[in-house]
């Protein structure tokens, strides 16, 4: 009687899950143990590396996965906390005989690759084989692509399309022939008998259910008050609902999609709903398959005329693949030291006052503050909004190191991803070869025709997230310190008392910082 362990690592879903399908499709496997491991190296020993909102999203994703396993397959998810290279050998010992298969997905991050090697060393033996599926989280096989003889690091949409053209054939209509997603298994083998008893635990491991994990997180206040404010609910069920609503059922939206033209301040009458698909948190958590999204977009594109990369939805997924490749092939991707994709800029010393004001949304610049408060509450921010706040923090107004902003994003963003978060900060701080020219700054006090696509007529987004300014006329809401005192009094918001005055002179600081940037480049 052979058993298998399926480790839901970066793919918290049933649909298009190669690791799960491999185990389910082997006729000689009679029992299957579905597991998730909370790795302190990722979340922190006490979840300190995740914000309450990001912790809640993970919890909801695990709860949803467990519910699907129970309802559809009479199975369940077993949750463990600790170093996976120690947890997995312990689980193997708890089984009556070593499992014939440990199946999971590939992780391209440096620490993830090191961990995979440790697990192979600790668990691989003549009885147990280990599979790391390399096409679970990306469209490309990252390892195969970067190790090919003709691989050149992509720095543009043209470059990544060339890589795709050498990897995937095109059909007669010019669509890349991406493999179809795998259907959800029709059935899953029963849980091993050793794990069927209630409250199963041992001296080797402690087992959590989603319920007991929620209780522990609530008791230690790790979910905070964000539980009542979270807009994006985690899990595959919610991912597929959003996929149908924003993509499958809205062909016109998909085919006309041009990301640079979407609004950074969300839908006009609904400040919580993105003007884009809002699917990035589900792609990052693995609750939604990137192949599934690609194919749904392709189905829409086949119906009629549609936008092309880089502006299109397919273009956004191609950028994602590009950054995954770079994060694998570029040494020190997450650093400004010995990173060939990062210019050597002498940033300012860490400024606690500036960093705190930026993070908490108290800079005195209402657009920046609204966006940072949105991040704190929802764990999400439009891509142009990320452009605005990162430019403001780095080369624009505050001259702070991009890594400090990156770390805050990493803790709070629901779609935080090691490859993409570092790529975006390299890009937006102006230090990467694929960056826009460093001297092109975003205005934190935009007018109606700003490239940030900010809604300025009603300023409903600003008024939602910065309620101190809810009675301000839109004419003054982006620079309220310029409003006459009579208007401030009428709006019941005195600048410098009820809402902060600007922490810097935006024009003077921008002028100085561009000079510093140019000087660093010449050094």
Encode pLDDT of 377-398 as tens digits: 999 999 999 999 999 999 999 9
Nearest to 450 by CA among 485, 472, 478, 469: 478
Residue 202: predicted pLDDT: 61
Residue 110 lies in a domain: no
Domain presence at residue 472: yes
Region of 489 on the Ramachandran plot (φ > 0 left; ψ -120 to 50 alpha; else beta) = alpha
In this prediction, residues 407-429 reach a mean pLDDT of 97
Average pLDDT, the chain: 94
- Please state, in angstroms and rounded to a whole number, the distance separating the CA atoms of residues 199 and 514: 60
Residue 272: its pLDDT value, please? 85
Q: Is residue 412 part of a domain?
A: yes
**What's residue 342's pLDDT?**
97
DSSP for 61-83, written as a single string: HHHHHHHHHHHHHS---EEEES-
Residue 45 lies in a domain: no
pLDDT for position 480: 97
CA distances from 30 to 26, 33, 67, 297 (A): 9, 11, 22, 38
Mean pLDDT of 272-293: 96
In the predicted model, is pLDDT for residue 447 greater than 80? no
pLDDT at 316 over 80: yes
pLDDT at 1 over 80: no
Answer whether residue 422 is part of any domain. yes
Total count of domains within the chain: 1
Mean pLDDT of 132-150: 96
CA distances to 47, 193, 243, 245 from 249, rounded to whole Å, are: 37, 43, 8, 5
- CATH of residue 501: 1.10.579.10
Cβ neighbors of 403 (< 8 A, separation 6 or more) are: 334, 335, 336, 425
Flag whether 438 is in a domain.
yes
Please say if the pLDDT value at position 201 is more than 80.
Answer: no
Please give the residue range of the domain that contains residue 418: 352-522
pLDDT given at position 231:
87
Q: Which residue has the tokens 């439009």?
A: 382
Q: Say what the pLDDT of residue 523 is.
A: 79
Is residue 15, in this structure, part of any structural domain at all? no
Provide the pLDDT for residue 415: 97
- Is residue 429 included in any domain, yes or no? yes
Q: Give me the percent of the chain exceeding a pLDDT of 70.
A: 98
pLDDT at 124: 87
Other Cβ atoms closer than 10 A to 371: 28
| Position 203 pLDDT exceeds 60 | no
């Amino acid at each position: 009687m052979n058993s298998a362990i399926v480790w839901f690592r970066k793919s918290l879903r049933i649909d298009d899950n190669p690791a799960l399908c491999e185990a389910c499709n082997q006729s000689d496997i009679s029992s299957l143990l579905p597991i998730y491991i909370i790795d302190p190296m990722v979340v922190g020993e006490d979840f300190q590396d995740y914000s309450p909102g990001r912790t809640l999203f993970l919890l909801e994703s695990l709860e949803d996965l467990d519910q699907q396993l129970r309802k559809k397959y009479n199975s369940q998810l077993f949750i463990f906390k600790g170093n996976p290279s120690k947890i997995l050998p312990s689980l193997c010992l708890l089984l009556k005989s070593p499992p014939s298969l440990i199946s999971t997905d590939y992780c391209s991050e440096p620490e993830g690759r090191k961990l995979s090697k440790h697990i192979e060393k600790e668990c691989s033996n003549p009885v147990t084989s280990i599979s790391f599926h390399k096409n679970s989280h990306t469209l490309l096989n990252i390892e195969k692509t970067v190790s090919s003889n003709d691989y050149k690091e992509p720095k543009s949409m043209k470059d990544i399309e060339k890589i795709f053209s050498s990897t995937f054939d095109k059909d007669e209509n010019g669509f890349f022939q991406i493999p179809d997603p795998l259907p959800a298994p029709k059935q899953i083998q029963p849980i091993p008998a050793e794990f069927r008893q209630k409250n199963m635990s041992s001296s080797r491991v402690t087992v959590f259910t989603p319920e007991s994990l929620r209780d522990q997180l609530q008791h230690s206040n790790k979910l905070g008050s964000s539980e009542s404010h979270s807009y994006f609910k985690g899990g595959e069920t919610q991912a597929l609902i959003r996929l149908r609503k924003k993509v499958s059922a809205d062909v016109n939206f998909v085919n006309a999609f041009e990301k640079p033209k979407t609004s950074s301040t969300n839908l006009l009458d609904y400040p919580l709903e993105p003007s884009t698909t809002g699917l990035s948190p589900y792609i990052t958590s693995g609750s939604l398959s990137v192949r599934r999204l690609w194919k749904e977009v392709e189905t829409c594109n086949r119906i009629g005329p549609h936008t092309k990369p880089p502006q299109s939805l397919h273009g956004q997924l191609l950028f994602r693949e590009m950054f995954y490749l770079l994060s694998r092939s570029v040494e020190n991707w997450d650093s400004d030291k010995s990173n060939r994709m990062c210019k050597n800029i002498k940033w300012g010393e860490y400024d606690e006052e500036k960093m705190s004001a930026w993070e908490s949304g108290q800079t005195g610049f209402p657009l920046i503050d609204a966006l940072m408060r949105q991040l704190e509450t929802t764990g999400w921010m439009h891509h142009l909004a990320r452009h605005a706040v990162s430019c403001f923090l780095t080369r624009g107004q505050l001259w702070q190191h991009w890594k400090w902003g990156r770390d805050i994003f990493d803790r709070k963003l629901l779609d935080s991803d090691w490859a993409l978060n570092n790529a975006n900060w390299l890009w937006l701080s102006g230090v990467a070869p694929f960056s826009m020219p460093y001297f092109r700054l975003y205005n934190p006090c935009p007018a109606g025709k700003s490239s940030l696509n900010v809604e300025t007529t009603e300023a409903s987004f600003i008024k939602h997230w910065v309620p101190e300014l809810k009675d301000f006329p839109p004419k003054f809401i982006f620079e309220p310190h310029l409003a006459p005192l009579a208007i401030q009094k009428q709006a019941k918001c005195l600048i410098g008392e009820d809402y902060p005055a600007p922490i810097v002179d935006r024009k003077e600081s921008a002028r100085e910082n561009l000079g510093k940037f140019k000087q660093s480049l010449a050094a």
